[in-house]
Amino acid sequence: KDSDLMKYLSADQQNGLVQTITRVAQERLEEQSTKVLGEFSLDNPDGALKRLITQIETNFNPDDPKTALGVLKKALGETQDQIRKDLSLDADGSALSNLHGKLKAQIEDLVAKQTKFQNDVTSVLAELRGAKKERAVSPSGGFDFEALSGDALRNRMHSDELFESVGETTGLVPRSKIGDHVQTLGADSAAPGAKVVYECKRAENYTLAKALAELDEARKNRGAEVGVFVLAASSVRGNAKMQAEFPRALTRQGNDIIAIWDPEDDNSDVNLDAAVTLARAYAVRERSDEDAAADVDWEAVDKAIHGVERQIEYIDDLNTWTGNITRDADKIADRLGKMKKDLNRELERLTEQIENLRP
């Protein structure tokens, strides 16, 4: 137990085997730890971490064209330059410059085509206006107006009424063709068989007396009780002499009615409506026999007729005012609308009175 060998093997022995092994192991561990920590220290220029960082910096240096980052930086720079070049209008051959050139060429071509089309349209319209003006002053212009008036009048006939265009046929008076259209009241009317003759004119040298004389002859030639003279508005417009002769859009003298109508203006259709309705009323009144007339409230009929004529006069006045006065235009236009409504109401009242005359 106290031998030298046992002492050498004792853990408590300072210079013993155990203590020696422990000390050597501790020294080796500390040495290895210091070496490992030195490899990962940034302060050690020969350390593994420092060498790794240096290698990375060398291989990924963006300023070195041989490195990956350098190649990438160069490629990005070239791409940026190419994009900037392609998006520049100052660079010939750039994508944007080519696009601009193509668009400019297409726009110039479109403008040229549009200009040509506009010139063609202007030329055609000028020819049409010239032809229309020439036709308006030619004899054929009167035939055109006669046909247009006939179509408009035909659309205003009742289903049981007969409407005939007879301007090319001789009437009751030998060799006389006066009287363009004839309306014959139907069987459902209070005066079946009663006739209204329509004379349609586009002329710039007519007088009221001449128009009434033609209507008188037309009534005799067509065996009609009532005559309606339809005058083209273009004949009156801008013609002081004609305006003095025909100051109103609707004029009545006895059983003769003169209406001014413009086939190109829907606002003047009310004149034709009023003329046709009044003509029916006067035809019924003219043809009604004494027994039938005794049961008719002619005072109500006359009141409706006068109401129609009065509303037409109001519309005439307001149309004149709106043509000459821009001040208070909304007020005048509103009043004009009310007058048209009142006129339609008067026309309905007159039509109702005529309907009441039916057997």
pTM above 0.85, yes or no: no
pLDDT of residue 141: 46
Alpha helices in the chain (DSSP H): 4-9, 17-39, 48-59, 68-86, 95-137, 139-154, 208-222, 233-236, 240-245, 269-287, 290-294, 298-324, 329-356
- Mapped onto helix, strand or coil, the DSSP state of residue 165 is strand
Residue 134 burial (10 A CB sphere; 0-12, 13-18, 19+):
exposed
Report whether 247 contacts 207 (CB < 8 A): no
In the chain, the amino acid numbered 72 is L
Report whether 240 contacts 232 (CB < 8 A): no
Task: Give, for all 359 residues of the chain, the pLDDT tens digit.
Answer: 566 667 666 666 667 677 777 777 887 877 777 777 766 676 777 777 667 777 776 766 667 677 666 777 777 777 777 777 766 666 777 776 777 778 888 888 888 888 888 888 888 887 776 655 555 555 444 578 899 999 999 999 999 999 999 999 999 999 999 999 999 999 988 889 999 999 999 988 889 999 999 999 999 999 999 999 999 999 998 899 999 999 888 888 989 999 999 998 888 898 899 899 989 988 988 877 544 444 556 677 667 767 776 777 777 777 766 666 655 666 777 777 787 788 778 777 777 776 666 55
The token pair that represents 272 in the structure block: 């034709």
Write down the domain spans for the chain: 4-59, 92-137, 145-356
Q: Residue 91: in which H helix or E strand, if any?
A: none
Which of 241, 267, 262, 248 is CA-nearest to residue 333? 267
Report whether 215 contacts 256 (CB < 8 A): yes
pLDDT of residue 241: 93
The token pair that represents 328 in the structure block: 């208070």
User: Strands, E, within the chain: which ranges?
Assistant: 162-165, 181-184, 195-201, 226-232, 250-253, 256-261
Task: Give bridge partners of residue 164 from the DSSP assignment.
Answer: 182
pLDDT of residue 136: 52
Residue 218 burial (10 A CB sphere; 0-12, 13-18, 19+):
buried
pLDDT of residue 114: 84
**Distance, CA of 347 to CA of 353 (rounded, Å):** 10
